[in-house]
Amino acid sequence: MSYYNEMFEGDQVRDPYARLREWVDTMPDDFRQMKQAEAEALFRRIGITFAVYGEGGDPDRLIPFDMMPRVFEQAEWRKLERGIKQRARALNAFLRDVYGRGEIVRAGRIPARLVYQNEAYEKSVVGFVPPRGIYSHIIGIDLVRTAKDEFYVLEDNCRTPSGVSYMLENREIMMRMFPQLFRKNRIEPVDQYPDLLRRTLESVAPAKCEGRPTCVILTPGHYNSAYYEHSFLANLMGVELVEGQDLFVDGDFCYMRTTTGPRKVDVIYRRIDDPYLDPLCFRPDSMLGIPGLMNVYRSGGVSICSAPGAGVADDKAIYTFVPEMIRFYLGEQPILNNVQTWTLWKDDDYRYVMENLGDLVVKEVHGSGGYGMLVGPKSTKEEIEMFRHKIKANPSNYIAQPTLALSTCPTFVEEGIAPRHVDLRPYCLCGDRIELVPGGLTRVALRDGSLVVNSSQGGGVKDTWVLSE
Amino acid sequence: MKLRISHETTYRYGRPIRNLVQSLRLTPSVFEGQKVHEWQIDVTDGIRGPGFRDGAGDWIEGWNVRGPVDQVTVRVQGRIDTRDMAGVLRGHREVVHPLTYMTHTDFTQPDDALRDLANSVNGTSDNLDLAHRLSLQISDSIAFQNGVTANNTTAAEALALGAGVCQDHTHALIALARIRHLPARYVSGYLHSTIDGEPHDAAHAWAEIHVEGLGWVGFDAANKCCPDERYVRLGSGLDASDAAPIRGVAMGSGAEDMAVAVQVEELAQ
């Protein structure tokens, strides 16, 4: 399999990478090692050591930072941006629809079972339309590139995508260590993200809110692997970081306890899952939630971001229908490709996948973090046979996709620089406007030949540049 | 029937509690079989919070009691006219898709015995007939008996015991229906009197099964019948916990003791 190298076109270094090439070529070895150590020390000092959500592993482990940036030209980015915004609009339209009349199901475009029997579908919010009809306010869309003009969406994250603090920190640290690089290259900023996020949250305050909305971030607490990110964002946005016990319901509204008395809360950016939001509506045994919150929400007293039930849009089975959503709700052709996906609960798909296991990537429907998946071409015969047994035991738990030829980016390795496979997660904000900062989080598979970028599987992160015109 | 209903639930706490928050599903459903004339909910020392109709058509009210109190009473009083609709929930406005009620919960999780019982009914291609026969299976397999089950008993456990109360019959029937691919849900409400004329002095529960073309149809396996004018419907859910008329959480709750008094009287014409 051949891979698209984002730095080269034939033997020629592509324009966006020209200055970086020069920078690398003139960099003395000991300088590089010194800087790498400096970067690590900086990350440790800031305390950014959390694992990307759902990946497990040691929460205090540092995710390796690669100093070689990944670069997009303005034109490349513009196309990605349009594709991502289009997808974000379609996903929110889908959520509005399936919690309302369900036109897409009535039209026979998506099987009813996949929507209404989905474990992320929330019966309790059917018929309630959140402010501006927005359900997913921060959408993380995982993309890979396979050719100069070919991008594929691997998955959509409509609930509480994490990792944006890496995007911000990677840039911060690069600017601190290599200010001259930022003078020589005209790079679009990303540090407006916290302001945009706050603006987005404020724009979806409930109608009952008067004056400037009070926003908070609701965290499960410091044992959570993404706690650092929660406090980091709260800090940068200038809003309170709260846990369930800091909030309470009284009358028609939700309040937070402060040293100067109760203060009404208008918008909750929650980083806890639906079942733990409110023991009066969901799990009665939840200690994390706020009793009565869902009644306040459903009567328009407080906004919750993302909306409870938003997860039905980012399920791996629903994923296959996103291009259909774009055509159905927007009347447009999808700008970004979906990866062809075989669903193993269909007989034809099952047969095909079982015959071609060695060429495919097989994933669990509800899995994440690169665990429980098979990368056919990178696996031994034994591993493939073992996986075959797992699939046979429960076919409906799996989907399969072709092994994508993920693009590579130059990356610092022991011997200098070498190509390593990368993906990209931009963060799209949806409120009164739909916007995203230029760039996102680039994850890189640091092991030679590896296609798995997850940090739990030896992945690292890079600063992601979008060059100005 | 013209019915007068009085329903009092009193919670007593070993130690005073603060910040009690409740979610009440205690207002009769709106459909052709019911017409409410007067209905009042009150919580002692309570603050009435948000009230709204949810997607399943239920009226939900939030209440909270700041406390400290060592006793809270939820009092419901009202008058309602009921009509016999042969169990059919006609004219009920709801937007939840029936398939949403195919999801099993801990209460209805099937075991082999429930599956065998569900699949023992055959020879019918009519879903209404199937629903009736599933309900009969439960009536015959679970005897009505107080005190043998608790409020956390599952459908599988009740069937194994062969005895239980209306909550158990309802969970078991829901399990059977879902096994046979019929959407089913838990309904909470009141019952004026059993078929032999005995007054029913407790809250009641039954199942609704969705039959294509007809909509939701009620089945009371505990009383071997379909709901008629003796029944008052409050709300529904996936199981007893989801459909509970009262859900509440308080801060610092010590031991909790609950007393319920229900009266459903027929008014003179």
Which residue positions in chain B have pLDDT lower than 70? 253-255, 269
Q: Which of A99-113, A352-366, A383-397, B198-212 has the highest mean pLDDT?
A: A99-113
Residues in chain A: 469
Among the listed residues A341, A350, A345, the one whose alpha carbon sits nearest the alpha carbon of residue A323: A341
Q: Residue A61 pLDDT > 70, yes or no?
A: no
Q: Is the peptide bond before A206 cis (omega within 30 degrees of 0)?
A: no
Instruction: Tell me the per-residue pLDDT of B70-100, one tens digit each, with 9 for 90 and over.
Output: 999 999 999 999 999 999 999 999 999 999 9
Kindly state whether residue A1 falls inside one of the protein's structural domains: no
Among A126, A251, A291, beta carbon nearest to B249: A291
Per-residue pLDDT, averaged over A337-356, amounts to: 92
Residues of B in contact with A280 (CB under 8 A): 21-23, 247-249
What pLDDT, on the 0 to 100 scale, is given for residue A222? 86
ipTM of this complex: 0.95
Joined together, the tokens standing for residue A344 give 């193993």
Kindly state whether residue A307 falls inside one of the protein's structural domains: no
Of the three residues A402, A428, A445, the one that is the final residue of a domain is: A402
CATH classification of the domain holding A262: 3.40.50.11290
Query: Which chain A residue is nearest to residue B250, measuring alpha carbons?
Result: A291
Cβ pair A423, A151 in contact under 8 A: no
Provide the number of structural domains found in chain A: 3
Among the listed residues A323, A317, A366, A359, the one whose alpha carbon sits nearest the alpha carbon of residue A341: A317
Overall fold of domain B2-266: C8orf32 fold (3.10.620)
Residues of B in contact with A284 (CB under 8 A): 241, 247
The phi and psi torsions of A146 (rounded to 5 degrees) equal -120, -15
Instruction: Tell me the per-residue pLDDT of A186-220, one tens digit each, with 9 for 90 and over.
Output: 999 999 999 999 999 999 999 999 999 999 999 99
Joined together, the tokens standing for residue A264 give 């009404």
Judge: B100–A126 Cβ closer than 8 Å, yes or no: yes
What pLDDT, on the 0 to 100 scale, is given for residue A469? 79
Q: Residue A53 pLDDT > 50, yes or no?
A: no
Amino acid type, A181: L
Among the listed residues A359, A330, A329, A324, the one whose alpha carbon sits nearest the alpha carbon of residue A342: A359
Do A439 and A398 belong together in one domain? no
For residue A58, what pLDDT band results from cuts at 50, 70 and 90?
low
What pLDDT, on the 0 to 100 scale, is given for residue A237? 97
Kindly state whether residue A306 falls inside one of the protein's structural domains: no
- Higher pLDDT pick, B239 / A469: B239
| DSSP line for A139-207 | EEEEEEEEETTEEEEEEEE-S----HHHHHHHHHHHHHH-HHHHHHS-B---TTHHHHHHHHHHHT--T
Among B19, B60, B99, beta carbon nearest to A248: B19
The phi and psi torsions of B114 (rounded to 5 degrees) equal -65, -40
Using CA atoms, how far apart are residues A133 and A93, in angstroms rounded to an integer?
8
- Mean pLDDT, chain A, whole residue set: 91
Judge: B21–A127 Cβ closer than 8 Å, yes or no: no
Give the CA dihedral B139, B141, B142, B148, nearest 10 degrees: 170
Cβ pair B229, B83 in contact under 8 A: yes
Q: Residue A60 pLDDT > 70, yes or no?
A: no
Cβ pair A214, A234 in contact under 8 A: no
Judge: A116–B54 Cβ closer than 8 Å, yes or no: no
Of the three residues A367, A382, A402, the one that is the final residue of a domain is: A402
CATH classification of the domain holding A359: 3.30.1490.270
Q: How is chain B split into domains, by residue range?
A: 2-266
**In this complex, is the C-beta atom of A386 within 8 Å of any C-beta atom belonging to chain B?**
no
**In this complex, is the C-beta atom of A101 within 8 Å of any C-beta atom belonging to chain B?**
yes
% of chain A at pLDDT higher than 70: 95
For residue A224, what pLDDT band results from cuts at 50, 70 and 90?
confident
For residue A54, what pLDDT band results from cuts at 50, 70 and 90?
very low
For an interface test with A, which of B99, B102, B105 has the most A Cβ atoms less than 10 Å from its Cβ? B99
Domain of A368 in residue numbering reads as 340-402
What pLDDT, on the 0 to 100 scale, is given for residue A427? 97
Kindly state whether residue A145 falls inside one of the protein's structural domains: yes
Instruction: Tell me the per-residue pLDDT of A228-243, one tens digit each, with 9 for 90 and over.
Output: 899 999 999 999 999 9
Kindly state whether residue A151 falls inside one of the protein's structural domains: yes
The phi and psi torsions of B156 (rounded to 5 degrees) equal -60, -40
For residue A251, what pLDDT band results from cuts at 50, 70 and 90?
very high
Q: Angle, to 10 degrees, between the axis of helix B127-141 and the axis of helix B112-119?
A: 130
Do A385 and A268 belong together in one domain? no
What pLDDT, on the 0 to 100 scale, is given for residue A459? 87
Kindly state whether residue A164 falls inside one of the protein's structural domains: yes
Cβ pair A392, A344 in contact under 8 A: no
Judge: A299–B97 Cβ closer than 8 Å, yes or no: no
Q: Which of A49-58, A283-292, A350-359, A448-457 has the highest mean pLDDT?
A: A350-359
Query: Within chain B, where are the H helices?
Result: 112-119, 127-141, 155-161, 166-179
CB count within 10 Å of CB B217 equals 23
Give the CA dihedral A156, A162, A165, A168, nearest 10 degrees: 0
Do A22 and A152 belong together in one domain? yes
Interface of B with A (CB under 8 A): 19, 21-23, 47-52, 54-56, 60-62, 64, 66, 95-100, 102-103, 238, 241, 247-249
Is the entire prediction scored with pTM above 0.90? Answer: yes
Of the three residues A360, A376, A402, the one that is the final residue of a domain is: A402
Partners of A374 in the beta sheet?
A362
**In this complex, is the C-beta atom of A129 within 8 Å of any C-beta atom belonging to chain B?**
no
Kindly state whether residue A35 falls inside one of the protein's structural domains: yes
Amino acid type, A8: F
Kindly state whether residue A196 falls inside one of the protein's structural domains: no
Q: Residue A51 pLDDT > 60, yes or no?
A: no
